[in-house]
Structure 1
């Protein structure tokens, strides 16, 4: 079930969108967007706050606090419902297409009466978008591509959202009397960036109490089917959950069967067949005698096939079975290996918490070092100045002396402009402990231009990490078009790390891209890009991406000692590099 904070944040975000769609004040809409981020990132429970407590949340003013209080008391937000009545639901749906904002959605509605994604698709196919103000040939092509992306993502859920629900279900079902073991399986256990449904596996001699517990969950909107071995429901958010109950002795075989991708499982079964065996969710059997050889644990099943246990994040048939057979599986990087976070924000720019609070949360995570990297001035909306950044640096140096077990690094997130240049001259950049450089604008440049700007940023001797390299936002913005192989080669040559951005809305680079970059010799930084204290925990998603990319500790710079990290950050100048 979604956190109340996330639920209210989503409503405030919808309200901001509807303000823009109805022609309202853009500044007012932005204030509600900021409030939505603040509420979603607030670590406490909104249900325990009165209006004064709500107003204490950064970005939540009197009007917003009143709306939240109204919703907490009645389950309704009158102002939101009033705006909903003015805008056809499908018009906001159109804004979910990557690259289509409220202004374009309103234009399409007013000029062509388009109030759904399907209507927009038909209009584009019929050539009706040509000639509309601001919609050139390139924009129309981007809209087509965005519709295709949205269609591909339809019915899939972000990893973080699915994981929250799955962990809640596993905790509750695992506590049902008679349940011996309970865990999630499927693509969620493989930690794919989005999932189509949630597979829950449990063991019990009597499945009835478990099935009843699932059906009693408050988010159940529809019962697809229910029996003694499997129950399927659909939640009020449209996500399907399948609960399978097996006998305790079948746990290992079932977990293998329901975790691996289809291709992984086919290859495992093929390996079994060659040995005169049969593998199913019930166990591994000798075909001739029918004797069960293994089923109780995953390690037992893999061992009976002549293989070591294969981590779930690798079970995609990308060579993991062959590597296992050869004793060549990588020693994957683990969450416990992370010694620090090298990309975070505070309320000096668009973060929600002050530096002191972010640092204390990081220290509580056991980090050995932590970098604050607030936005640089070319991201104009953040209003950064030299004086503000220098004052923060002085404060960071003071705080560094207060933490005996954690070193405080002062950095910044620079903006890579269309030419590949970044904020501030070289002498100012030299004062930072590290610099992350990211693209925040000019997403529509052509392939050559995007490639050139990224390579130029890598060649800058003051740029240590390229942040969220492809700029994608899952379900909202497509990646830029760049020759990533050329970028990877440049990053490896210049000693520039590439980020595995752990924000579940980004997960950028992807696992496939990270695998390709690693082959070039690139090093990586697994960063939370946290704008609030809860978001520091996003690191688990970055670790998942790294594992799916077969990365080890040696590949990830923020698993290294501070001494080794500092040596890497002393990046040599590259002939011809940018300033």
Structure 2
């Protein structure tokens, strides 16, 4: 079951937002925002902590710890309920629309009486938003885009939440006596960034014990349908999970079928028909009445009987994988085991939650050969970075280099790409860093030409080796910037600048279709965590999924390379 930490994080963030929207103390609101991030990133489940232990989480003070303790005891936070009572629920929904936020939501309510998302959309279409201070010419367009983005995301669950739940379900069912095999399938196995539901597949001679154990799981809120071969439940968060139990001899065919995608399966069935066969979730049969079953026990057998090698699930989208398989040209996809390091991480020097030493210890425990700390640069004013702070951190990095299981420690920074493509520090200061990640953190509404120009200029900077979260999107919360990505990709290939696949589940930026296009234009990639806590150092598993969907091999990813080879790349030599 997903940890309670994420639930508490959301409540504390809501409390911080409500303090802001009601005109409360800004410092207090920021303190609760920091506490929310700290709880979300804390490696231990808060459900097992008392108030005193909760105060041991950096950023969680006594008052916050008491509120968390109150929620653990009673399921509610009275102070939060009081704040909620001050604001109509529709206004809270409005402030969740991308580009709005707490202050603008309150201004819309105060000046135009907008108390729901539908009313906001109506006002935007009618051109009324200009009557409110802070809303410019393009505000209506962006808000309508944000509403559509939120509606598209409705009912879908992020890959991290779905994976945590699916893995727990698979572990629980695998321990049931009589269970022979169990795995999750569907879009989650294909590593889609969000899922509509979770498909779990199991084999057993008798399905009854598995079905009983499934419906008795503690996070099941409703049994939608129950039967001997399929049972569907819904969790308290509204996510549907389907369990199918098949005979052991049909495991392979069922796993192919229920993994999908639909388009991939249609192609496989068409190939079967052309060969005089019939493919279903029960196996591959000879066509015609009473046709013999040929294979069904393993995926490898099913694909081989169709003249194909086994195709990795992230590729099963009918985007050329079947043709590549027929030609014998399927890539050896990059895996998490191939990663030798992480090139984009943060500490509590800026907006991270853990100290440099804590992050290094956690990274070394992952077996990394090298690791870069890339705290924010000074143009992100809220992080209060100075030259002196950065140089002091550099001295500490040099001191700690090699002390954690001989892991090389790189001193880097995440620079801010300004609206004209400039970055925070002059070249002579940037020359002292081992690696510079440059990212857009503001001016998201610039036009296509301006966004393209600023990213190309950043690529051309001789001190920038990686472009971080290139389209700036936040899944379900912020649309990507309008940019000519092909032009940026060509600049990356020309200048020897890597494109990041940001593994943070809320970003997963670049997307898989962009990865395929960039690779075709000669771009190299870095699969990074963008970790702000030790727990988030596991984020690359999701970036790996995106990379696999984009067809990347270890050769394409610079942080699978040896340190000596990576070091040459960081000197900004264009790839050959």
TM range (shorter): over 0.9
Per-residue deviation, 1:162: 0.6
2:324 corresponding residue in structure 1: 323
Q: Within 2, Cα distance between the matches of 1:137 and 1:213?
A: 57
What residue in structure 1 maps to residue 403 of structure 2?
A: 402
Q: How many angstroms apart in 2 are the aligned matches of 1:47 and 1:292?
A: 51
Kept in 1: contact 2:127–2:140 (CA 8 A): no
Does 2:62 correspond to 1:100?
A: no
SS at match of 1:424: coil
Match of 2:469 in 1: 468
Offset at residue 404 of structure 1 (A): 4.9
Alpha-carbon distance between aligned partners in 1 of 2:350 and 2:133, rounded to the nearest angstrom: 34
What is the CA deviation profile of residues 313-364 of structure 1, one whole-angstrom value per residue up to 9, with x for unaligned ones? 1000000011111101001111110000000011111111111111011111
Corresponding residue for 1:443? 444
How far does the alpha carbon of each residue in 1:110-129 deviate from its partner, in whole angstroms, 9 at most, with x for none? 23333322232233334443
2:401 alignment partner, SS class: helix
Which is further off, 36-45 or 312-321? 36-45
Q: For residue 137 of structure 1, give the secondary structure of its aligned residue in structure 2.
A: coil
Q: How many residue pairs are counted as aligned between the two chains?
A: 574
The residue number in structure 1 matching 2:420 is: 419
Structure 2: 5+ residue stretches without partners: none
Structure 2 counterparts to residues 256-405 of structure 1, below 5 A: 256-288=256-288, 290-405=291-406
How is 1:184-195 mapped onto 2 (pairs within 5 angstroms)?
A: 184-195=184-195
1:43 maps to which residue?
43
User: SS where residue 494 of structure 2 aligns?
Assistant: helix
Q: Does the Cα contact within 8 Å between 1:413 and 1:435 map onto a contact in 2?
A: yes
Deviations along 1:357-376, one digit per CA (max 9) or x if unpaired, are: 11011111000000111111
Instruction: Report the CA distance between 1:221 and its aligned residue.
Output: 2.3
Which stretch shifts more, 125-134 or 249-258? 125-134
Per-residue CA distance 1:155-194 (angstroms, 9 max, x = gap): 1111111111111111111111111111110000000000
1:153 corresponds to which residue?
Answer: 153
**What secondary structure, in the 3-state scheme, does the structure 2 residue paired with 1:486 have?**
helix
Alpha-carbon separation, structure 1, partners of 2:218 and 2:17: 28
Q: 1:119 to 1:226 in 2, by over 3 A?
A: farther
In 1, Cα distance between equivalents of 2:2 and 2:471: 29
Residue-by-residue CA offset, 1:230-283 (whole Å, 9 max, x unaligned): 111221111111111111111100000010211101000000000011100000
Aligned counterparts of 1:16 and 1:227: Cα–Cα separation in 2? 45
Please state how far the C-alpha of 1:572 moved relative to its aligned partner. Answer: 5.0
Counterpart of 1:531 in structure 2 is 532
**Structure 1 residue aligned with 2:141:** 141
What corresponds to 2:82 in structure 1? 82
Aligned equivalents of 1:196 and 1:266: distance in 2? 21
Please show how residues 122-141 of structure 1 align to structure 2 within 5 Å: 122-141=122-141
Deviation at 1:214, TM superposition (A): 1.8
In structure 2, the partner of 1:576 is none
**Alpha-carbon distance in structure 2 between the residues aligned to 1:374 and 1:122:** 42
Partner residue of 1:486?
487
Query: Over residues 197-227 of structure 1, what are the superposed CA-to-partner deviations in whole Å (9 max), with x where a residue is unaligned?
Result: 1011111122222222221122222222111
1:90: Cα distance to partner? 2.2
- CA RMSD after TM alignment: 1.5
Aligned counterparts of 2:62 and 2:431: Cα–Cα separation in 1: 43
| 1:402 aligned counterpart, secondary structure | coil
Residue in structure 1 matched with residue 497 of structure 2 by the alignment = 496
In the aligned structure 2, how far is the partner of 1:88 from the partner of 1:219? 30
Q: Aligned partners of 1:283 and 1:163: how far apart in 2? A: 28
Range that drifts further, 234-243 or 550-559: 234-243
Which deviates further from its counterpart, 55-64 or 493-502? 55-64
Moved more, 204-213 or 461-470: 204-213
Q: Deviations for 1:451-494, whole angstroms, at most 9, x for unmatched residues?
A: 11000000000000000011111111111111111000001100
Of 315-324 and 51-60, deviating more is: 51-60
SS at match of 1:414: strand
Q: Which moved more, 1:102-111 or 1:562-571?
A: 102-111
Is this contact kept in 2: 1:413–1:438, CA < 8 A? yes
Aligned residues of 2:186 and 2:259 also touching (Cα < 8 A): yes
Q: Is the 8 A contact 1:97 1:475 kept in 2?
A: no
Structure 1 residue 92, shift from structure 2 partner: 1.5
Q: Structure 1 residues 130, 391: CA separation in 2 closer, same or farther (over 3 Å shift)?
A: closer
1:56 counterpart residue number: 56
Structure 1, unmatched stretches of 5+, are 574-579
Task: Report the TM-score when normalising by structure 2.
Answer: 0.97
Q: Distance in 1 between matches of 2:40 and 2:512?
A: 27
Report if aligned partners of 2:496, 2:572 keep a CA contact under 8 Å in 1: yes
Identify the residue that residue 251 of structure 2 maps to in structure 1. Answer: 251
